[in-house]
Amino acid sequence: AAGVIQSPRHLIKEKRETATLKCYPIPRHDTVYWYQQGPGQDPQFLISFYEKMQSDKGSIPDRFSAQQFSDYHSELNMSSLELGDSALYFCASSRRTNSYEQYFGPGTRLTVT
């Protein structure tokens, strides 16, 4: 079965640079979630989109923004990167119309140096 696709899988950036992470949800899934997981931490919710509209916002810094496009893929834009932004970034998708299960992508490991 098709899964959530994330790109890139690994990303190395320097402080103050920008990064863009991409997420392609499972086909026919209408909701996308972004989570951040620091070393030894549990995943923390950042932001979500339902039918291309932002549906909720969590602990996402103002330096970050995201959107969902007409084909349902989503991008997380991160600017003025800080060392503390180094983490795993997961995208998850669900089909809200008939279930609540969220399926996670493989993640993007961001390292800020």
Confirm or reject binding of residue 42 to another protein (CB under 8 A): yes
Confirm or reject binding of residue 56 to another protein (CB under 8 A): yes
Confirm or reject binding of residue 48 to another protein (CB under 8 A): yes
Tell me which of 30, 50, 61, 65 binds another protein, using CB under 8 A: 50
Tell me which of 19, 31, 64, 68 binds another protein, using CB under 8 A: 31
Pairing status of strand 87-94 against strand 5-7:
unpaired
Q: How far apart are CA 15 and CA 79, in angstroms?
A: 9
- Letters for 61-80 (x = contact with another protein by CB under 8 A, - = none) are --------------------
CB of 59 to another protein, least distance (A): 11
Name residues whose C-beta falls within 8 Å of residue 38's C-beta, 6 or more positions apart in sequence.
Answer: 44, 86, 87, 88
Tell me the sheet residues that pair with 20: 77
Tell me which of 27, 51, 58, 63 binds another protein, using CB under 8 A: 58
CB of 63 to another protein, least distance (A): 20
